[in-house]
Structure 1
Amino acid sequence: MVVSSCSLSWISPCLSHKLNLPHSNYLPRNTATSSSNTVFCALETTPIGESHCQRRPLLLGIGALTANLQPTKLLFAQEVPDRYRAFVDYEDGYSYVYPIDWKEFDFRAHDSAFKDRYLQLQNVRVRFIPTEKQDIRDLGPMEEVIYFLVKHRYAAPNQRPTIYDMQERTIDDKHYYTFEYVLTSPNYSSASFATIAIGNGRYYTLIVGANERRWKRVRNQLKVVADSFRLLDI
């Protein structure tokens, strides 16, 4: 389904209760592996009580390192496109690919994030929060869920949201919603893809985006990232 310049005012107020999306900085301690390195995410607390994830290199014994990297190689042997690298987090239960020349960085309240080396607004980030829902379909019809998220969760009060595309995908009996949207403010506009899914008692969100002025040049590249998101059983 394609929706252009949508009016978002009709969304039911009760959908916010269906979503069960508290403003949470829930970030568990985890160990994650990519195709080239192993990183460790430690939960830290700022002076104002907000939590954020700061990743540091984790040195492992040869046996542990081999055990972690081998499943990663097998999992993505047929899936990682040329010029991309895989990020796999077995403990937190998700994976995706990102452009090979991007670098990891800390994004507040997110579990993992990578950005272009020169264009910081061109990035991907993943976060998750706990939920009692079992599947993304439990939130309601795809159109209502996405409209609510873009208008009430992603857009700031001074931004005008526009949704261009919505897709539902089923992979290994797991359901994913992926959608494209633009947030326009008086001085700046950003374009993004988001993929959302529920599994492992968690609601996962991946967002990959860029400045709207560059969107035509990078859209296809970033769509690969959005479509690559997978839930892993933990």
Structure 2
Amino acid sequence: MASLQNSPSLYHTLSPNSFPQVSLQNQKHHGTFPCCRRSFSFLVRAEQPSASSSALSQVGCGRRQLIAIGVSAPWISLLNQPSSSFAAETKKGFLLVTDKKDSYSFLYPFGWQEVVIEGQDKVFKDVIEPLESVSINLIPTAKQDIRDFGPPQQVAETLIKKVLAPPSQKTKLVEAKEVYFNLIFSSVSSQDVDGKVYYMIEFIAQAPNFTRHALSAVAVANGKFYTLTTGANERRWEKMKDKLHTIIDSFKIGNA
């Protein structure tokens, strides 16, 4: 069974040095973990208005036509929304990140600032609470599915020990599970709906001067291994966990 440790193309790239978490020991102000979602997303395909919609312009349409139009009009309006509206649900207090080149999107809390950290595609963090952050990492892979690397717990344990936390930190896996989503991304046709499998991971990493509670979502698509991680100081977990789950739940990967 394939594993990250036995995959030269992924393991050497998915090294601790490629993730900002490692710098937490020496540079706490750059602390960030590279993702988890609890709910399923349902999407409606955009379609052309039916012939009945043209009756709206016909003064002499019959009662039966008017009733049919009245019922279908709201759905026609919904189905004709731009596909970009489905990239991620907008939510009060959050901003949307959309990367059409690498075909992903997610939400992050309003007020977090973007910072540049080597090895990460994007990073957003709270400047006052540096352990509160979200980051995404992309690694090339020849695999077609996250399940090719093994079951959720095996992949989670390998990532936590080898990638998501420095070796000096004591880690604990809280949960690892497989979740399936039907997703659509704004950079592809509204008819191109793809089901993807994600591994959702919750873990705790303990350093000498802090403990971080984190959520990660990993998936394979478009020839890449995607890792989105967010988290907060353990002492603020109860206050932040709903926001962190919102970030993870919003993460979507489309077809490049």
Unaligned 5+ residue runs, structure 1?
1-11, 26-69
Determine which of 56, 62, 74 is the counterpart of 2:85: 74
- Answer with 1 or 2: which has the greater Rg: 2
1:24 aligns with 2:13: yes
1:225 aligns with 2:235: no
1:164 aligns with 2:174: yes
Structure number having the greater strand percentage? 1
Aligned-pair distance for 1:98? 0.7
1:136 aligns with 2:146: yes
Residue of structure 2 equivalent to 1:212: 234
Residue of structure 2 equivalent to 1:29: none
- Residues 111 and 128, structure 1, Cα contact 8 Å, conserved in 2: yes
Q: Distance in 2 between matches of 1:175 and 1:13?
A: 17
1:176 aligns with 2:187: no
The one-letter amino acid paired with 2:223 is: G
SS at structure 1 position matched to 2:230: strand
Distance 1:145 1:14, change over 3 A: closer
Q: Distance in 1 between matches of 2:245 and 2:110?
A: 15
Moved over 6 A (4+): none
Unaligned 5+ residue runs, structure 2?
15-80, 183-194
Answer 1 or 2: higher relative contact order, Cα 8 Å, separation at least 6: 2
Aligned-pair distance for 1:19? 7.9
Distance 1:123 1:71, change over 3 A: farther
Q: Kindly provide the CA deviation profile for residues 80-127 of structure 1, in whole angstroms up to 9, marking residues without a partner as x.
A: 222111111011111111112222111221111111242222110111
- Residues 95 and 109, structure 2, Cα contact 8 Å, conserved in 1: yes
What's the TM-score once normalised by structure 1's chain length? 0.69
Distance 1:186 1:117, change over 3 A: closer
The one-letter amino acid paired with 2:110 is: I
The one-letter amino acid paired with 1:21 is: L
Q: How does 1:115-130 map to 2 (within 5 A)?
A: 115-130=125-140
1:194 aligns with 2:236: no
Q: Distance in 2 between matches of 1:230 and 1:150?
A: 22
| CA RMSD, 1 decimal | 2.4
What's the TM-score once normalised by structure 2's chain length? 0.64
Distance 1:71 1:115, change over 3 A: farther
